[in-house]
Amino acid sequence: MPAPIIPLDSNKDDHDDLVFLDEQPVPPLAIAPRSVWRVMIIDDDEDVHSTTTFALGNLEMQHRPLEFVHAYSAGQARELLKHEDDIAVILLDVVMEQDDAGLHLVRYIRETLKMTDVRIILRTGQPGYAPEIDAIRDYDINDYKTKSELTRIKLFTTVTAAIRSYEQIRSISNSRRGLDQIVHASTQLMALHGVQNFSAGVLAQIADLLGIRADGLLCVQEMLDNGGKELLVSACTGSFSGLPHSALCGLQNPRVMAAIEHTLAQRRNVYAHDYATLYFAGKASRDAAAYLVLPRPLSAIDESLLEVFCSNVAVGLDNVELVSHLHNAAFYDQLSKLPNRTRLVEILDAALAGPARDDATLALVDLDHFAETNDALGHQFGDSLLIAVAGRLQTQLGPQLTVARLGGDIFCVLGDSSQVNPAKILALFQAPFCIDGQDVQLSATLGLVRLGEHAGTGADALKDADIALKRAKSQQRAGHFYFSRSMGIEIRERVRMMHALRTAFSQDQLFVVYQPQIDLTTRRPVGAEALLRWQTPDGKFISPDRFIPIAEYSGIIIDLGEWVLRTACRELVLLREQGHRNFVMSVNVSQVQFRHPLFLEMLRVALEETQAPPEFIELEITESMAMEEPDLLIKMLWQIKQTGVSIAIDDFGTGFSSLSYLQRLQVDRLKIDRAFVTEITGSARGSSIAEMVIQLGRNLGLAVIAEGVEDERQAQILQALGCPMAQGFLFARPMTATALSTWLNNEALQGAA
C-alpha cells in the first residue's frame, strides 16, 4: 500500500486526470491549531490522491483546515470506514476494481455503516459513465463530476459546498423533521419526469419544507447560440401562475428579475424579510434560481434546511435534464420534434388497451415522390419541407390527435375515426407548402387501420397500416386503403405464389435440369442430380428457395415430386440407350412428399412404367428428415430399399444425426454440404469437417460425394482426403436434358481419344 500522501508545495505545478485549468488560484488561508474537516479520498489512481491534496491541502473551508484520509481500493475503504466516524466528505471514484465498485461502496456506507451525515461526491475519468438516477436517489449521492471538469476552483467549490452541507446537517441534527422532509422531498422529486415537472415539484417541496403557501417561480439559465445567456421560466406557482414557459425578460416585475440575477451572480442563496432567492448550481453554466415570496422572515434553521435542500436539488436538476434529453432522443424525432416510431408504439399499445380503441383509427401518411424533390432541391430544403408538413398536420388536425413521424417521408396520425378521415387528411395537401419563398405542391397516400378491428399489438397495427399503404400505393398515388385481415403479407405472398406455381406447373414453366457428378480420380461423369427449376414467361427464374416451401405448404409438392421422379427416370432410360450404362440418377425427395402415405406406391409405379433400373436410381433425403421420427424412417427406408433404389443423405454435417441411427438407416451415400467444401480453402479450420465426413463414410462403408466444388484447389484437397466423387461448377453447371446428353457424348468421345 502506498504511503499516505503529504500535501504538496503550493507553488508546484502538477497536472493529471484532475485537469487543473489555468485559473486564478484560491488564496491560502492561515492554518490555526484547531479542529479540521476530514476528507477521505477513495481512488485506485495515486496521482488523483496527490493532485487532490495539492489542490486543497493548504486551504481552509468554513474556517477549518482539511485533513485527508486515503484509500486506494473499495476494500481498503471499507476497512478504514469501520473505524472512522467523523469523515465529512468522501471523494469517491465510480470505477475501480469493477465498473460499479463505487456504487457498491456507497450502498455499504449508507446501509451497512449507517453513515448518513457524510457527504459523498462521485468522480469518474470516463465522461460517458454516469450513475443511474435510482442510485443517486437511493444512496444519497451528493454530487457527480467527471475528473476532467474538476479544475482547482471547481474542486474547491464542490468540496466547500459538501462541507457546508455536512456542517449544516450536523448542526441541525436535532431537527429531524426538516431532514426527514428533505429526504422525502428528494425521493418525490426523483420520481418526476421532465424538467418542468421537476421544477414545479421543487417549488412545492420548498413551500412544504417551510410550512408556507407555494408562491414563486424557478428559472433555468440557457446558453444561446451567440454565446450569451438567457433565463427561461421553468415553473411558476401562486401569484406567478399563468406565466408562459419563456424568457424571464418578459416578466413585468423588475424587482423579481433583479433578485434572481443577483443570486445567480453571487452563486448563493439570498434571504430577505419578504422573499428568498435560491441558487442551484448546474453543469455547463446551466445554473438555476428560484424566487419565493415569504409571508415572514426565515429562521436560521429554515435557512439551514434550505441550504441542504438546494444542494440536493442541484444534483437532481442536472440529472433530470440529462434524462429528459435522453428521453427526447429515444422517443422523439429530432427533426420534427414529433413522437417517433418507438413512442408511437407505446401510444398505440395504450390505445389498444383502453376503452377508446373501438372508435380509433391509425393512418400512415406517405408523401408521394418526396425522394425526387429531396434529390432535386437538396436535403436541407427537404428537411424544411418535412418540418412544414409536420406543422400543418399538427395545427390543422388539432391537439386531440396524435401526430408522429416514423422516419423518412412517412408520418402517422392516430385518433378518433371521425377525425382521422382520409378525405380530411388528403385535403391538407391541396395547398402548396412555401419553403424559402418557393411553393412546393405535395400529395400523399394513406394506409389506415381501424383499431377496433385489430387484435394484435401496437407494432402489429403499424405493420398492418404499412400493408394497407403498400396496397394503396400499388393502386394509385394520392389515394388511401384500409387494412383488412386478409391482407397479411405472408398470406398474400403464399396465395399468390401458390396460384402462380399451379399455373406454371400446368403450363410447363417448370422443368428439370441435371448437374453431373464426377469421379475425382478419372474426372469422368458417373451420374447426375435432377434439380427442379421455374422460369416465368418473361424469362425470370424463381429461386427454389422461394417456391419449394410454398409447394410443400400447399401440398403441390406431392404432384411435383412425382413428376420430377418420372422425368428423371425417363431421362436415365434415354441415356442408357445412348450407351451410358453405369450412369446414376439422383432425385431429391421432400419431407412432405416422403411422409405421404402413397409415396412408396408412387415410387414403384414410376419405376415400373418408365422401366428405369432401380439400382441406378438414388433418392436424396435431408439430414433433418433423418433426425425426425427415426424409427418410422428406418422402416420406410427399409421398404424403399426393397425396390432396389439406393438412399443418400443430402447436406450431411449441417444437422446433428445420431451415429447409431445412421447405421440403422441403411443409407448408401453421404453428401458433404457445400458450406464445408467452401471451408476447405476459405476457413481457418480448413478441411476438418469434410475430412470427418469422408472418414465416417469410410468407416461405415458408405460412399461419399461432395457438392459445391468450384475450384481446382478444392477438388485436389477432397481427392487427397479420400473423397471419391464431387459435383459443382468446376465440372459442370446444371443443364437441360438435351445439353446433358450432348455433354456426356462429348465426354465419351474425349475419353475414347
At 3-32, the pLDDT tens digits run: 443 333 433 333 334 444 334 443 333 333
Q: Using pLDDT thresholds of 50, 70 and 90, give the confidence band for residue 186.
A: low
> If you average pLDDT over residues 515-540, what whole number do you get?
94
For the chain, the structural domain boundaries read 37-171, 176-328, 341-487, 496-747
Q: Looking at residue 181, what is its pLDDT?
A: 56
pLDDT at 489: 61
At 484, give phi and psi (nearest 5°). Answer: -125, 160
Distance CA 372, CA 379 (A): 11
Query: What's the pLDDT score for residue 569?
Result: 97
pLDDT tier at 659, thresholds 50, 70, 90 = low
**Percent of the chain scoring above 90 in pLDDT:** 32
pLDDT band at 1 (very low <50, low <70, confident <90, very high): very low
Q: Summarize pLDDT for 426-471 with one digit per residue, the tens.
A: 999 999 998 888 888 899 999 999 998 887 888 889 988 988 898 8
Specify the pLDDT at position 183: 55
Q: Per-residue DSSP letters for 250-283?
A: G-S-HHHHHHHHHHHHHTS-EE-SSEEEEEE--S
What distance in Å separates the CA atoms of residue 442 and residue 35, rounded to the nearest whole number? 77
Q: Rounded to 5 degrees, what are φ and ψ at 253?
A: -150, 90
Q: Is residue 728 predicted with pLDDT exceeding 90? A: yes
Which range has the worst mean pLDDT, 488-492, 625-629, 726-730? 488-492
Q: Express each pLDDT in 558-617 by its tens digit.
A: 999 999 999 999 999 999 999 999 999 999 998 888 888 899 999 999 999 999 999 999
DSSP category for residue 359 = G
What pTM was computed for the model?
Answer: 0.41
Confidence at 747, pLDDT banded by 50, 70, 90: confident
Element (H, E) at 447: strand 444-450
Average of per-residue pLDDT across 518-547: 93
Which span out of 9-13, 197-201, 644-648 was modeled with the highest average pLDDT?
644-648
Mean pLDDT of 707-727: 94
What is the four-CA torsion angle of 396, 400, 401, 407, rounded to 10 degrees?
80
Query: Residue 533: enclosing H or E segment and its boundaries?
Result: strand 525-535
pLDDT band at 173 (very low <50, low <70, confident <90, very high): low
Measured distance CA(514)–CA(342) in Å, rounded: 51
Determine which helix (DSSP H) or strand (DSSP E) holds 745, and give its type and residue range: helix 737-752
Share of the chain above pLDDT 70, in %: 81
CA distance 235 to 237: 7
Cell of 356: 377508446
Contact between 486 and 384 under an 8 Å Cβ cutoff? The reply is: no
Q: Which residue has the higher pLDDT, 222 or 232?
A: 232
Residue 285, pLDDT > 80, answer: no
Residue 618 has what pLDDT? 96
Q: What is the pLDDT of residue 654?
A: 58
Q: Which residue has better confidence, 205 or 555?
A: 555
Q: What is the DSSP letter of 403?
A: E
496-747 folds as TIM Barrel (3.20.20)
Q: For residue 114, is pLDDT > 90?
A: no
Comparing CA positions, the residue from 373, 391, 361, 379 lying closest to residue 443 is 373
Q: Tell me the sheet residues that pair with 60.
A: 65
- pLDDT at position 219: 84
Better pLDDT: 564 or 354: 564
CATH tag, 341-487:
3.30.70.270
What pLDDT does residue 752 have?
Answer: 57
CATH topology of domain 176-328: Beta-Lactamase (3.30.450)
**Whole-number pLDDT of residue 588:** 94
Residue 5 backbone phi and psi in degrees, to 5: -80, 130
Of 351, 371, 477, the closest CA to residue 413 belongs to 351
Which residue bears the cell 429562521?
Answer: 299
Radius of gyration of the chain (CA): 40
Q: Is residue 511 helix, strand or coil?
A: strand
Residue 25 has a pLDDT of 41
The overall average pLDDT reported for the chain is: 81
Q: Is the pLDDT score of 193 beyond 60?
A: no
In 543-555, which positions are buried (b, 16+ CB within 10 angstroms) versus exposed (e)?
A: eeeebbebbbebe
Spacing of C-alpha 502 from chain mean position? 42
C-alpha to C-alpha distance for 164 and 167, rounded to whole angstroms: 5
Stretch among 132-141, 292-301, 605-614, 651-660 having the lowest mean pLDDT: 651-660
Q: Sign of the C-alpha dihedral, residues 595, 601, 605, 607?
A: positive
* CATH classification code of 37-171: 3.40.50.2300
Residue 26 confidence (pLDDT): 38
Q: Which residue has the cell 476530514?
A: 38
Q: How far from 232 is each of 27, 221, 248, 278, 365, CA to CA, in Å?
A: 35, 6, 5, 16, 36
pLDDT at 87 over 70: yes
Tell me the C-alpha distance between 326 and 329, whole Å: 5
Give the least confident one: 509-518, 545-554, 651-660, 725-734.
Answer: 651-660
Give DSSP secondary structure letters for 334-395. Answer: TTT-SB-HHHHHHHHHHHHHSGGGGGEEEEEEEETTHHHHHHHH-HHHHHHHHHHHHHHHHH
Q: Which three cell numbers stand for residue 387?
A: 418540418
Mean pLDDT of all residues in 302-307: 82
Question: At residue 84, what are phi and psi to the nearest 5 degrees?
Answer: -110, 120
- Position 662: which residue type? L
Confidence of residue 171 (pLDDT cuts 50, 70, 90): low
Of the pLDDT bands very low, low, confident and very high (cuts 50, 70, 90), residue 195 is low
Q: Sort residue 513 into left (φ over 0), alpha (ψ -120 to 50) or beta.
A: beta
Task: Say how far apart CA 219 and CA 223 lie, in whole Å.
Answer: 13
Task: Please answer whether residues 141 and 120 qualify as being in contact, where contact means their C-beta atoms are separated by less than 8 angstroms.
Answer: yes
